[in-house]
Amino acid sequence: MSATVILPNGIQLAYESFGDEEAPVILLIMGLGSQLVRWNIELCEELVAMGYRVIRFDNRDCGRSSHLDGAFVPAIGGGTPLAVPYALEDMAADAVGLLNALGIVAAHVAGASLGGAVAQLVAAGNPERTLSLTSIMSSSGNPALPPPTPTAAQALFAPLPRELTRDNVVADAIQRFRTISSPAYPTDEERLRWMFGLEYDRGFNPRGVVRQLGALIANGDRRPLLRTIAVPTVVVHGREDPLIRVACGEDVARSIPRARLEVIDGMGHDLPLALTHRIAEAIAAAGQA
C-alpha cells in the first residue's frame, strides 16, 4: 500500500506499508537523498515473511515527501557552526510523527547511513516508541573517526552534470554508486538504471540532498545520546565501506550499551540484493533480542 500523510508540522511524508497491519512494525529509514525504493522490495517481503509489518518512507526533502523549496541551502564547508534550515532531530521527529499518524504505538526502527543516525535519535529520544534499533552503515558522529576515502568523498561531493536530463542524472548516479558500493556483491546495470530512473521520476531534488547533509553535519557527536539507548540494538556495517568507514560502525556499537556488532566482509556502502537475507536476519535479531 502506498499513501501519504501530513504531519502536524506541515511536512507531507510518502510511505509504503507491507504485511499484516496487526503485526509488529519495522520502520525503515533511508539515508542521504535516497528514496524509499533503496530499501529493496525483496528485503521488505522477507521481513513480512518473518511476521512483521514493514513501513518504508521518503524522508523530508526527498522523493514524494515534502521538498522544502523555500528553505535555504547550507554552505557545506563554509564555516562553523553550520547554519541549517532544519536539524537531524527534525527528521527523527518526522519518523515518530509518521508512527503517530498511522496509530502505531511502538516500532522496531532500522536506518541506513544518514537514516541510521536518524534511527539512533529516534531510539535515544523516544525509548517508549522504540522496540529495537538496527543501525546500518552509519556513524556516531565522533569527529576523531576516519573520513571517507578520497574517491568516496569525490563521489559524494562532485558536482552534478551540467545538463540535468534524466539520462545524465541516472548515468551520474550509477557512476557515484559504483565508487562506494559493495565490491563482493555488485549490482547489475539494469537494476541500477531502473532504481535511479525511478528515483528521478519520483522526485529529483538535489538541493534537498544538501539540506539533509547539512542537518547531519550540524548534528555533531551523538555518543552521549547513544550511551542512553537501552533498547536491543544491532549494528551492521560493511568491512569495505569507503564512505562511512567500518571504524564508524564499530564506534556506534561501542557507544550503545550491549549493542551487537555485525561486520560483513565484502560489503560497501549499499544494500546489495545478495545480502538481503543477512540484513533481514540482522533486523529481526534486534527485534528478538
User: pLDDT 10s per residue in the chain (289 long)?
Assistant: 899 999 999 999 999 999 999 999 999 999 999 999 999 999 999 999 999 999 999 999 999 999 999 999 998 876 667 899 999 999 999 999 999 999 999 999 999 999 999 999 999 999 999 999 999 999 999 999 999 999 999 999 999 999 999 999 999 999 999 999 999 999 999 999 999 999 999 999 999 999 999 999 999 999 999 999 999 999 999 999 999 999 999 999 999 999 999 999 999 999 999 999 999 999 999 878 6
Cβ 38 vs Cβ 58: under 8 Å: no
Residues in contact with 267: Cβ distance below 8 Å, sequence separation at least 6, in sequence order: 182, 184, 185, 237, 238, 239, 240, 241, 275
Per-domain boundaries in the chain: 2-147+205-288
CATH number, domain 2-147+205-288: 3.40.50.1820
Sign of CA dihedral 252, 34, 8, 220: positive
Q: Using N-to-C axis directions, what is the helix angle for 114-125 and 88-101, rounded to 10°?
A: 70
Reported as a single tens digit per residue, the pLDDT across 143-174 is: 999 999 999 999 999 999 999 999 999 999 99
What would the pLDDT profile of 72-91 be if each residue is shown by its tens digit?
999 887 666 789 999 999 99
Q: Give the integer Cα–Cα distance in Å for 264 and 203.
A: 32
Cα–Cα distance, 27 to 261 (Å, whole number)? 20
